[in-house]
Homo-oligomer: A and B are copies of this chain.
């Protein structure tokens, strides 16, 4: 495909007008201000449109699509114990498959091509992502509340099978990550075991860290003053490439460890507001050179996968946290939503509109009234754009969403089957 006479946001997030971008196979193979001589097949008229890197969602639980809007206005423990856990107890394979497929549809509609997705029923998730044409780093998250090795638990066996069967599946679109769910849901032994599994299979690690103040403080009490970050580091959890979600309550020492161990922080600003967890200190992370990406968390605590909206929350919250309107710029935000997420997933050739990189691209409508006038395009993208301005989403060179149509997903079936699964589970809970 040749995107012709289109505005682009280049690898430095600067606007360049009247550009030509050629995609060949999975790759961006031409970017220039003149029409290429080569034939790239279909020509896409870029008038009034923007081409930029697609988004990478660095923390999510896609199957929780089933629980969007289920269990609202509740304290965290009530939310988990009276709504989420009983509902999750009734999940089944097809429910997870279709819920994940619907999550992929919503992701593509909002410009997300790849998701770091932690849950269970992972082989159903793999199937859904593979069928959707999108990418995901999928992890079977491990919890363990009893002493001793976790290696005999079903969850660990599932994680091993997942690594063996699915890592690199769907032509590399599916990667398998290791996942220690969190400090408060694991023992020191199970943390050691999962870290060992990650090293053994060469997997990235994906964890929840210091999401709530209670989690952070109770860890210190349980573990001789060590924070979750310090404990995880001591137990080798960061010895492969790691993404740590939330990190609302981490300390300066924790940030130092992240910098040294190249840990990515996946900040989930909307979910952290909705569950009343707090506001992660993004400027303190950026100052240390830490890779900061953005996650939606699940739609049960968001309740959408609207990544443009998520960027706005990400960019705005720290201004009030520190009473300083100069903090977290649009370009820092765009980088977090694109390149930083790709890096966190170990997809080094993704997340930048650059020749030779993967063609994970989105087209946005610049002709809509809410994107006018333009004093600075990056600013308009972060603060003025609407999620629905995404007109086209391409993953590895394949157009998966375009002008309201899902080209890889039977959206009516995905919706109907997800609704059926909800009804079935609610009935079994009644």
Contact = CB atoms under 8 A, between A and B. Distances in A.
Interface of A: 65-70, 72-76, 79, 102, 105-106, 109-110, 213, 270, 272-279, 299, 302-306, 309, 312-313, 316-317, 319-320, 322-326, 329-330, 368-370, 372-376, 379-380, 383-389, 411, 414-415, 418-419, 422
Contact of A326 (B75, B270, B389, B414): B75
Given A74-B326, A303-B383, 16 more contacts: A68-B373, A69-B375, A72-B330, A72-B379, A73-B329, A106-B370, A273-B319, A276-B324, A278-B320, A302-B383, A303-B379, A309-B312, A370-B387, A372-B419, A386-B386, A386-B388
B306 A274 contact: no
Nearest to A322: B276
A410 to B, nearest CB: 12
28 contacts: A69-B380, A72-B329, A73-B326, A74-B326, A102-B369, A105-B369, A109-B369, A270-B312, A270-B316, A272-B320, A273-B317, A277-B320, A303-B384, A304-B383, A304-B384, A304-B385, A305-B370, A309-B312, A369-B411, A369-B414, A370-B387, A372-B415, A373-B419, A373-B422, A375-B422, A386-B386, A386-B387, A388-B389
Nearest to A418: B373
Contact of A69 (B106, B302, B379): B379
A234 B365 CA distance: 51
Nearest to A419: B373
Contacts of A383: 69, 274, 302-304
A73 B274 CA distance: 26
Q: How many copies does the complex hold?
A: 2
A69 B376 contact: yes
A57 to B, nearest CB: 14
Contacts of A275: 319, 325
A276 B320 contact: yes
Given A277-B320, A380-B68, A388-B387, A109 B370 contact: yes
A73 B326 CA distance: 4
Contacts of A370: 106, 109-110, 304-306, 387
A406 to B, nearest CB: 8
B75 A325 contact: yes
Nearest to A67: B375
A91 to B, nearest CB: 14
Nearest to A99: B373
Which of A65, A330, A376, A419 counts the most B-chain CB atoms under 10 A from its CB? A376
A273 B388 contact: no
A98 B304 CA distance: 34
A106 B369 contact: yes
A386 B387 CA distance: 7
Contacts of A325: 73-76, 79, 274-276
Contacts of A419: 372-373
A372 B302 CA distance: 14
Contacts of A69: 373-376, 379-380, 383-384
Contact of A276 (B65, B105, B319): B319
A329 to B, nearest CB: 5
Contacts of A299: 384
Given A69-B375, A373-B66, A306 B74 contact: no
Given A309-B309, A330-B72, A386-B387, A279 B320 contact: yes
A384 B309 CA distance: 10
A387 B385 CA distance: 10
Contacts of A319: 273-276
Contacts of A73: 325-326, 329-330
A321 to B, nearest CB: 9
A417 to B, nearest CB: 10
A109 B386 CA distance: 11
Among A70, A305, A325, A326: residue with most chain B CB under 10 A: A325
